[in-house]
Structure 1
Amino acid sequence: MTTSSDVTIYHNPACGTSRNTLALIRNAGIEPNVVEYLITPPTRSELIQLIQDANLMVRAAIRKNVDPYRDLELDREDWTDEQLISFMLEHPILINRPFVVTALGTRLSRPSEAVLDILPLAQQGAFTKEDGEQVIDENGKRVN
């Protein structure tokens, strides 16, 4: 079994995509380090590193369907990346999720099966998302 120090998920247990991603990690026999980022947000440098390592623009790492996004008018184009990062740190609900970090890379795992590209171990059996969509067959192989 891979240890928790090998894989980290920035997780929100209220989010179905985050729960599915965590379940896919565990389906590979990995017990990850789970960071509930709403309780323990990343530092500024950690958040910047996550975004850079995932090869994202800052705006792509922001959740748009939450109240702070609308209240702060974050759709305005004149916000700088530094300002957007500050908003994300002040309101962690703005951080898109789940970010997953492994030795093979960092991904914003949306959809949840994006995590499969960076897991160090293969899936150990069938996996079906909470909504009933089968992602992994009984042989541990990706469906579709």
Structure 2
Amino acid sequence: MIVIYHNPKCGTSRNALEAIRASGTEPVVIDYMAEGWTRPQLLGMFAVAGLTPRQALRTRAPEAEAVANASDAEILDAMVQHPVLVERPFVASPKGVRLCRPAETVAELL
């Protein structure tokens, strides 16, 4: 099973989703902008992906300015409050979890 944490407004996320479908797999699509994140969910995903909250922070989001000098714990709290702060898309498969930016990175998981 492949899961994509997807933002439908993001071109990179749409491209990754298209690549997954082109491989013949229909993924579980989670619109995290609508569903939000939990702190444990983010911690687990980042741990498996080998990323810190700061590395997974979408710095181009307007809300990122408020956490520019924040601790990882504060960044996580902000990500739960403002889902847009999580860089996208994240994809999980039996081969691991990756931040698929650029979208071609998803090929490693297929």
The two structures share one fold, judged by TM-score above 0.5: yes
Deviates more, 1:42-51 or 1:82-91: 42-51
Counterpart position of 2:64: 69
Amino acid corresponding to residue 13 of structure 1 in structure 2: P
Structure 1 residue aligned with 2:92, among 101, 110, 129? 101
Which structure has the higher relative contact order (CA within 8 Å, separation 6+)? 2
5+ long unaligned stretches in structure 1 = 1-5, 120-144
Structure 2 residue aligned with 1:33, among 8, 28, 31? 28
The percentage of aligned residue pairs carrying the same residue is 40
Shift, 1:42, TM fit? 2.5
The C-alpha deviation readout for 1:24-79, integer Å capped at 9, x for no partner, is 00011010000000001222111111111111121111101111112x1x221xx2
Taking only aligned residues, the RMSD between alpha carbons, in angstroms, comes to 0.8
Amino acid corresponding to residue 79 of structure 2 in structure 1: M
Aligned residues: 110
5+ long unaligned stretches in structure 2 = none
Runs of 4+ in 1 over 3 A off after TM superposition: none
Task: Choose 1 or 2 for highest CA Rg.
Answer: 1
* 1:112 matched to 2:107: no
Which structure has the highest helix share of the two?
A: 2
